[in-house]
Amino acid sequence: MRRKVFRYSFLCALLFVFVTAVFMFTACGKEETVKEKEENKKENKEEIVIKKDDIEDTEEVGSSDPELEEEAAFPILNDLIDRIQLTAAPLESTGASVSVYAENLSDGARASVNSSQMPAASLIKLYIAGCVYEQMDFVKEQEVYAGETEELLRLMITVSDNDAANELVRKLGFGDASAGMEVVNEFCRLHGFADTHMGRLLLAPNDMDDNYTSVNDCGKFLREMNGNVLVGSEKLLDLMRQQERTGKIPAGVPENIETANKTGELSDVENDAAIIFGENGAYTVCVMMSGLSDTSAARSVIREISAQIYEYMCP
């Protein structure tokens, strides 16, 4: 009897020791697992921070200005810039702002003088036309008579008809002028004409907004039109060849030289943007002037600048 009790007690003691050992081993394993997880979390956090820092460093190194990159990719005609600045100086001394852009379309060599956002006047019609050609099917669905859209485009470009321009803008907005202007602005945003904005209809009073562009934007527009990048490029270029207002940039080149241009005028603004098809190849000239006290003198300066650029491009 005593032996049985002793055996039973001994077995219970062994069982207790075994269970205790298993429990302690399991607890230690869990503790190690928790520690390992915590260490892994720390390593992951450090890895995430490192990767984030790498991304931030990469973004800083890779950040760039597309316009600056584009300018750096082509020769800058510094001597032509000097000539233009000398010619514009007397006009600028009266308080006027003068911007000029010229580009050889064969090799991309260019001269840009004081390009900034300025009153567009009728130069905004270039962007309206570009937008209409891109939305041609939508606009033609609203025609009152067959061929109305083409007639409105012809009037807007060749004789700078303001009513034709405003009607095309309304059609872009399906009868809503404000919506149509936003369509034009979206066209400009999508094509990278960063300085161009339509804020009012032609000759419509609006103290809160206006129409703006820059010589750089106009130069880019003419380049893409000449390169057939824009929808309807050939048709628009043909209309510009038929331009009836040729007393500014075209008047500065010999009569036998073909030109395609679009002008813009306000009471104190004189603008013109043209492609000149010279003997040595085509080139662009864009001139914008604002704050003028003598528009007749300004037109004379535009002709002089045009002649200088022609002599430079076609020696």
Q: What is the CATH number of the domain that holds 297?
A: 3.40.710.10
* 167 lies in some domain: yes
Across the range 204-221, mean pLDDT stands at: 95
**Residue 50, domain member (yes or no):** no
| 12 lies in some domain | no
57 lies in a domain?
no
pLDDT range class, residue 208, cuts 50, 70, 90: confident
Is residue 253, in this structure, part of any structural domain at all?
yes
Query: Is the residue at 49 inside a domain?
Result: no
How many domains does the chain contain in total? 1
Residue 107 lies in a domain: yes
Of residues 16 and 303, which shows the higher confidence score? Answer: 303
Per-residue pLDDT, 14 = 52
85-122 core/surface letters (b: 16 or more CB in 10 A; e: else): eebbeebeeeebbbbbbbbbbeeebbbbbbbebbbbbb
Among 30-44, 78-92, 158-172, 275-289, where is mean pLDDT lowest? 30-44
Q: What is the mean pLDDT of residues 183-208?
A: 96
Mean pLDDT, the chain, rounded, equals 86
Determine the structural domain holding residue 107 and report its residue range: 68-313
